Structure 1
Amino acid sequence: MSADHFFRRGLRPLLVFLSFFSLTSFSKSDELQPLLEFKSALQKSNPNVFSSWTPGNSTCSFSGIVCNSNGFVTEINLPQQNLSGILPFDSICKLQALEKLSLGFNFLHGGISEDLKNCTSLQQLDLGVNSFSGEVPDLSSLGKLKLLSLNTSGFSGQFPWRSLENLTSLTFLSLGDIVFEESPFPVEILKLEKLYWLYLSNCSLGGRIPEGLGNLTLLENLELSCNQFSGEIPGDIVKLKNLWQLELYFNFLTGTLPVGFGNLTSLVNFDASGNSLQGNISEVRLLKNIASLQLYENQFTGEIPEELWEFNKLVALAIYGNKFTGLLPQKLGSSQFQGQLPRSMANCTLLEYLDIGNNQINDTFPSWLVCNLHSLEVLDLSYNNLSGMLHPCLGNFSSRLSVLQLQSNNFHGTIPKTWAKGSNLRMIDLSENQFQGELPRSMANCMMLEYLNVGNNQINDTFPFWLGALSQLKVLVVRSNVFQGAIKSPEINYTFPELHIIDLSQNSFSGILPTKYFQHWNAMKVVGAKKLKYMEVNYGVGGLGRFIPFTITLANKGTMLKYEKIPDVFRVIDFSSNRFEGHIPELVGSLKGLHSLNLSNNVLTGHIPPSLGNLTNLESMDLSQNKLFGEIPAQLTQLFSLGYFNVSNNCLTGPIPRGNQLDTFQNNSFGGNLGLCGSPLSKKCGDFKYTPTPPYPFEENQRLESPFEFGWKVVAIGYGFGFVIGVVIGQIVIARKYPWFVKIFGKM
């Protein structure tokens, strides 16, 4: 027998057996310790997960552990388990057969050690949606990886893009929503020809999107939104025939849609909103499988293909904010179009989102359309020239409707009286029309309602106390109508517990201010928040999460100011320009979350309550045009955030308190009070010795810090801008240049 024959028939099988025996021996005696070390690092956050992880049990029976037929641990599956701690990769990577590590949607923190390089058998690594820190280590040794998901994981710094060259087996790559150091598009990705899923949204990429993406012919999902990409959409993107989702929104893209874009007939969702794209969109007429088409806020021109109205899978269409021409049958969205709504729109029976606001549409209320679209979640007909009466179906045509925006049209008559029980409506805006009659009591059936605005109409009614049963209602605006009479004490079930903003101004309300309501407005007593977020509606649109912010126009510093986004911590009471009488209730001082208080132009009497000094978040106070008397309380000098103050045209007397914000206001804040003296008025107080009003016993005065760290309070001390102006300035910055800010902080 030759030596070669002996090796092939004898020694090599023996070596294979010994190798297998060695590995089997490892699984039985050495895999327990790495798992127990993993348990030790994380078990305090959720002991129940690890209750089966005891030395007396087989490692393969541990919760979340999967073994192969030979008893080796191949998978650790513990996503969404509220786990917190630092991962011990020095232990994890001793599991030589480990192919899958799935720990997404937890609270893991700390860095990822270089020991990760020893997990050479890994095929799936999912650490997304956690709270890690530091940089992602080199991944070059993980050549077997097929899935890598680190999105929203908290990493920062430089990403090891170059190491992706070795990960040629990758099919799924998700790195979005991580604040990496700015870099151009990583060309290493263009070599990953097996990719079908690529998510790189909001991860600080810039420059041009390179040619070469078309070589990734297996791609089904491509998300590059919320970055700093410029230049044109690469032409070879039209080669991606399997693509069903393409998201490029909120970049700085220019040019036209690539020639042949219409050949991407598998597209279900296409969103390129918030760029500077131009030209005609005729290519989209071929995208017959499209369900969501979002091209708003670009510079597209020309006519919109009529074929869009024949797309029987379309659920969302938003193409406003462009420069389209022609009549309405060729467009949807905000431009300068005129004419009537096309009757062919009634074919779009699957529409969930319909926005044709901000146009010059001359038509009556389209009941022929609205009453047939039973899938609608969002209906926006605002800012047009629509007229006529609303159809009774409006209150119950779609149980899925969340947002109804009909403001700034010429609708008249009464508001429909039938609003169905079980309604999903969260936002109703009927303001700036010509509605008359009463506010229908059936609106109380809209138990999910958070925002109701019927301002600037001709509604003739008493205070809608019955809306106080809506436990989610945050914003109530009835300004500039014909509401009248006294606001009676609330019954136990009608207290408006979540009210943030109430505007009753410019009506004919009378009687004393509603002290009992103030007592129950608990949401106005809350100061600050852990995170900055906005009041908004989250709706589906074919499974794609979208948000519509609440907007509102409020009186501020004698002018009307529109807020395109309303911070959830914003609290406002505006009862101005009515016929309220009597004293300002002491309980107002308990509403410590207030940012704006306007009681001007009424017939209020009595003293200004010293308890108002407790409103340390207050930035605007207007008590002018009343019959208030007595001294201005010295406690108001504690209002460190106050940016606007007006007590003019009352019957106030004595010296004006000095100190802090009160030193920043001019004569017009105090004029029309013949008994007032001292700076800034020219009338001196002489030898009059002023004794400050003693601290008000209602509650101990205290300064409450704002939860925001953006420097608004510093500005307020010097110039009196404060949160109100800061929000407006912030919107300008956030809305376009930093969409990631809204995404991170606005949807928590």
Structure 2
Amino acid sequence: MNSLGTSSTTKDAEFDRLTSLTHLNLSNSGLDGQIPMGINKLINLVSLDLSKRYVNDNSDISFNESDDEIIFTGDSYNHLQESRLMSLVENLSNLKELYLDHVDMSTNVDDWCKTLAQSVPRLQVLSLDGCSLNTPIHHSLLRLHSLTVINLQSNPGIAVNLFPDFFMGFANLTVLRLSHNNLEGWFPDKFFQLKNLRILDLSFNMNLLGHLPKVPTSLETLRLEGTNFSYAKRISSSNFNMLKELGLEGKLISKDFLTSFGLIWSLCHLELLNSELLGDSGSNLLSWIGAHKNLTCLILSEFDFSSTKPSSISNFKNLRSLWLFGCNLTRPIMSAIGDLVDLQSLDMSNCNTYSSMPSSIGNLTNLKSLYINSPGFLGPMPAAIGNLKSLKSMVFSNCEFTGPMPSTIGNLTKLQTLEIAACRFSGPIPYSIGQLKELRALFIEGCNMSGRIPNSIVNMSKLIYLGLPANYLSGKIPARLFTLPALLFLDLFGNHFSGPIQEFDAVPSYLMSLQLTSNELTGEFPKSFFELTSLIALEIDLNNLAGSVDLSSFKRLKKLRDLNLSHNNLSVIMDDEGDNSSSTYLSELKELGLACCNITKFPSILTRLSDMSYLDLSCNKISGNIPKWIWEKWSSSVVHLNLSHNMLTSMEVASYLLPFNRHFETLDLSSNMLQGQIPIPNLSAEFLDYSHNAFSSILPNFTLYLSKTWYLSMSKNNISGNIPHSICNSSLLVLNLAHNNFSGPFPSCLMEQTYFRNILNLRGNHFEGMLPTNVTRCAFQTIDLNGNKIEGRLPRALGNCTYLEVLDLGNNKIADTFPSWLGSLSNLRVLVLRSNRLYGSIGYTFEDKSGDHFPNLQIIDLASNNFTGSLHPQWFEKFISMKKYNNTGETISHRHSISDGFYQDTVTISCKGFSMTFERILTTLTAIDLSDNALEGSIPESVGKLVSLHVLNLSHNAFSGRIPPQIGGITALESLDLSSNWISGEIPQELTNLTFLTVLNLSNNQLEGKIPESRQFATFENSSYEGNAGLCGDPLPKCASWSPPSAEPHVESSSEHVDIVMFLFVGVGFGVGFAVGILMKTSWINRWFHSAVSRQRT
């Protein structure tokens, strides 16, 4: 394999000096960018190879069995592009071999067929695998009459309606690879008459038709899986006496086919796709396969082994490679596979097993490669895995292993690649793993590993890649990890490593990528990092580092492309504040994250960078204009731009259509002070957030630029007017236009066409009209229309929204009865219907015992309506989730949506005159508000079963009778408001058990007797009891001077409603209740955004 260095750039190469060169092979040389122009001056070239050739798709470390060589391929691939094929080949008339596999030609403006036919007439080998060619294949290619090898696979842009039969004109053709090209039509039978044809690969062209006629005896490889071929009944294996590799669709296989086809004695490699279509022919197939004694590689997909006898597997004794994809495997079959002792490669991906892995796998002592990606393996990983002492590559992914990782892994002393991901282990990483002295790649991700990094790992001198992300590892990071002699990549993302990073001697160090994001690291930024001169990527965001970092300190890191210091406690010193303003350090930078780094202006180094793809300057103190050079210099390169949570006031733009490239994904300008018209990328971005600004308008036709947008938020601006109906044609998953001045009829289409939309938030606008009745294919998880002018009835079709978690229609003009029919929505957690014109009772049909009503509801707010009647004694019984303790403190998550992490639901509840807005709803927050209605009768005793309830507001009704003593069993209760009713009797002593109670309002009732004195009651003031002339005791007058009063009418208490954003913490001990907290969210990949704290008078 070649190596010109992993940061090689093609502009530096001076190939035009090598004019006598005949063979140039730069495949996998780490080249990046445009193909060097100098190559087109090598007029004597006979062979040119600039390919990116994937050695192993499963790992960045590949194993070459022929020479026992391990190759690191992850960053040595070429990443080349070519927009003018003619410029490359116009002078290469002597070229006979051209390999440009995976060179990006998506922007090529030349007709590639005509260009090649004109420029390289002597061409014999043409390989353009995966080049994103975008013009159809043309018969002009036939002018290259010397072609013997054509590889055009994985270029769907070359497809034509009919299969190009001119390929039959290549009389000398030996290899034709056209897989994955969306080819259609009938494949001509005459093609099989090409006498020199050795390899024919037409696989994965689903609409390509044909059948297997008599084929040339020279054929060695035939790949037809993933096509629509049939077979001729007269076909015989005698036509395939040279065939070594065969790939077929399962639907071709039948008993007749196997009988007529016979045995292919030369067959070594067999692949059968979609074998679930075999039906009863499955057992016949296994017998037919087993009869091929020279078969060494078998690939089966979607095969059902559930009715297969284990003895059928015993016929595969000669197999060296067995790959099973999406198969149903039983434990006996798994055990039988363990008897195939000559296996060298075993791959089981996406198989259904649902059993433990048998210890017989330890019999495969000749196994060199083991790859298992199947979620059905239960129980512990067998210790017998340590018997596989020939293993050089072992990968377990998405398995469900539990218990500790077996220490016998340390016996696999020849292992060079070990990858274990998304398993359910417990306990530490085995110390014995340090015995794997030949290991080049160690990757353990998301496996619940805990404890410290074993000291034995720091002695693994051949380790190239060490990745332990998304575990629960803790303690200090061993300083020796940074100086392992061969280490190129270190990834410790998402653990609990803590303490300062110890300084170390960085010479020599070849470390290229250092990922320490999302840990608990403290102390100052280590100066040793400034000496890691080979670094290309350094990410240490989302930690607790403190102190200052001068950007000029990175001047020795000349290869650095990715730097992320975001979300620490760092203060970044800008380059133009020191003596280095004229230097060109960080000149290769492509990605920069400086969120929450206390910077006050745009770093001047950005003006020198022309190819930035990622910039995050959010959560700083940058004020003034967004400079125009952002749009001018990076329009063709930037993918992610986050300038949110600053103090920006304006933008320097020539047009409010921003000139970004087609790869642009994210624009976040939220939480600034930007005014005027909202800017829109001229080519659709995926994520757009303009919330919390002072924008006042948007392009009338802005919906034309949302074709790829899934997230759009313009909440909390000053935008007015109607929403164009065309917005309904977008593919938005999240639409948040809350708290603006939009008006006009409610856009019904936003709810009628909902099979893809997850979040609809139009809260706090001026929409009028009624909700649509034909809500079909509903995928909503949040509908928030609070604070509009919507009237009419609640559409019964909302009962079809089975994913719905939050429904907030409060503060509208809806006139209807209580929607008990929503009770069947098992995912519904928040129901807010306050301040409407709802009427009637709020009971259920309790005679219906068929199922639960609102089983997961945690917030129900029906305040300020016209509900009447009494509550059924079992009314509170239906809230199943409130009857259970929930101390997880998790946020309501949209499990069926990728919107979670970017959108947070908001709910406002009332407590003692305060309107409290929760910007993020925790699963621990439970509340019932039935205040300000005309409910009567006694309060049901069943309320005492809601042990996880935090807020109960039944004020301003006509409830009578006594306070249920069972309320004292709601030990989580923090706010209780029963004011302004006709409740009588004494305050139950059981209420003193409410040690978390911080808000109590029993005013304006007919209570009497002595106020309880113990615990929480000692903290409440007169206002909690006023209007009950019969009450006495602290803080009211002592009971000795008390005399029974005459009944007085209710006096409605008027208190100012102050909107405060609060966060509910359920603590331990006396007086722990509501605590104010400002929430934070950050940006796009693994970063949260700052949420805004809003104040709104209700």
Identify the TM-score tier after normalising by the shorter chain. 0.7 to 0.9
Distance 1:81 1:575, change over 3 A: same
Largest Rg, 1 or 2: 2
Alpha-carbon shift at residue 634 of structure 1 (Å): 1.5
What is the one-letter code of the residue matched to 2:996?
S
* Gap runs ≥5 in structure 2: 1-67, 69-353, 373-383, 500-521, 576-582, 681-688, 1044-1062, 1090-1098
Name 1:388's counterpart in structure 2: 744
1:303-339 deviations in Å (ceiling 9; x for gaps): 1643437654555433111133443347933222223
Q: Does 1:430 align with 2:747?
A: no
* Secondary structure in structure 1 of the residue aligned to 2:854: coil
- The answer as to whether partners of 2:551 and 2:573 remain within 8 angstroms in 1 is no
* Secondary structure in structure 1 of the residue aligned to 2:421: coil
Distance 1:480 1:299, change over 3 A: same
1:298 to 642, 646, 651: 646
Q: Does 1:635 align with 2:983?
A: no
Name 2:469's counterpart in structure 1: 151
Alpha-carbon shift at residue 162 of structure 1 (Å): 5.1
Alpha-carbon shift at residue 195 of structure 1 (Å): 6.1
Alpha-carbon shift at residue 412 of structure 1 (Å): 1.6
Instruction: Name the structure, 1 or 2, with higher relative contact order (CA <8 Å, separation 6+).
Output: 1
1:669-696 deviations in Å (ceiling 9; x for gaps): 22222222333221515799xxxxxxxx
Distance 1:310 1:73, change over 3 A: closer
Structure with greater helix percent: 1
Distance 2:940 2:601 in 1: 61
Alpha-carbon shift at residue 289 of structure 1 (Å): 5.6
1:1-54 deviations in Å (ceiling 9; x for gaps): xxxxxxxxxxxxxxxxxxx9xxxxxxxxxxxxxxxxxxxxxxxxx982353344
1:732 to 1055, 1068, 1078: 1078
Distance 1:83 1:580, change over 3 A: same
* Secondary structure in structure 2 of the residue aligned to 1:636: helix
Alpha-carbon shift at residue 636 of structure 1 (Å): 1.2
Distance 1:624 1:379, change over 3 A: same
Alpha-carbon shift at residue 247 of structure 1 (Å): 5.0
Distance 1:687 1:328, change over 3 A: closer
1:123 to 440, 446, 459: 440
Distance 1:271 1:601, change over 3 A: same
What is the one-letter code of the residue matched to 2:418?
L
Matches of residues 459-608 of structure 1 in structure 2 within 5 Å?
A: 459-490=814-845, 492=850, 495-529=853-887, 531-537=888-894, 546-608=901-963
1:682 to 1028, 1034, 1037: 1037
Distance 1:581 1:406, change over 3 A: same
Distance 1:622 1:71 in 2: 70
Distance 1:452 1:339, change over 3 A: same
Higher deviation after alignment, 432-441 or 109-118? 109-118
Distance 1:631 1:266, change over 3 A: same
1:85-112 deviations in Å (ceiling 9; x for gaps): 55576x6455432212223334445555
Q: Does 1:323 align with 2:668?
A: no
- The answer as to whether partners of 2:389 and 2:413 remain within 8 angstroms in 1 is no
Q: Does 1:645 align with 2:1000?
A: yes
Higher deviation after alignment, 107-116 or 249-258? 107-116
Name 2:812's counterpart in structure 1: 457
Name 1:51's counterpart in structure 2: 359
Q: Does 1:98 align with 2:415?
A: yes
Name 1:365's counterpart in structure 2: 723
Higher deviation after alignment, 649-658 or 569-578? 649-658
Distance 1:204 1:178, change over 3 A: farther
1:517-558 deviations in Å (ceiling 9; x for gaps): 4222101111133x32112446866xx973422211111232
Name 1:400's counterpart in structure 2: 756
Alpha-carbon shift at residue 483 of structure 1 (Å): 0.9
What is the one-letter code of the residue matched to 1:622?
D
Alpha-carbon shift at residue 585 of structure 1 (Å): 0.6
Q: Does 1:444 align with 2:769?
A: no
Distance 1:284 1:521 in 2: 53
* Gap runs ≥5 in structure 1: 1-19, 21-45, 689-707, 717-721, 744-748
Distance 2:799 2:870 in 1: 25
What is the one-letter code of the residue matched to 1:404?
L
Higher deviation after alignment, 56-65 or 329-338? 56-65
What is the one-letter code of the residue matched to 2:493?
L
Distance 2:489 2:907 in 1: 46
What is the one-letter code of the residue matched to 1:274?
C
Distance 1:52 1:289 in 2: 53
What is the one-letter code of the residue matched to 2:549?
R
Distance 1:412 1:95 in 2: 70
Name 1:273's counterpart in structure 2: 618
TM-score, structure 1 normalization: 0.78
Distance 1:282 1:342, change over 3 A: farther
Q: Does 1:175 align with 2:531?
A: no
Distance 1:451 1:255 in 2: 40
Distance 1:611 1:351 in 2: 52
Distance 1:506 1:405, change over 3 A: same
Name 1:25's counterpart in structure 2: none
* Secondary structure in structure 2 of the residue aligned to 1:155: strand
What is the one-letter code of the residue matched to 2:814?
I
1:226-256 deviations in Å (ceiling 9; x for gaps): 3333315779786447x5x665545545431
What is the one-letter code of the residue matched to 2:882?
M
Distance 1:617 1:400, change over 3 A: same
Alpha-carbon shift at residue 360 of structure 1 (Å): 0.9
Q: Does 1:671 align with 2:1016?
A: no
* Secondary structure in structure 1 of the residue aligned to 2:869: strand
TM-score, structure 2 normalization: 0.54
Equivalent pairs: percent with the same residue?
30
* Secondary structure in structure 2 of the residue aligned to 1:394: helix
Distance 1:160 1:94, change over 3 A: same
The alignment of Structure 1 onto Structure 2 pairs a total of residues equal to 657
1:555-614 deviations in Å (ceiling 9; x for gaps): 123211111222211110000000001110111111111111110110111111111111
What is the one-letter code of the residue matched to 1:132?
S
Q: Does 1:613 align with 2:960?
A: no
* Secondary structure in structure 1 of the residue aligned to 2:571: strand
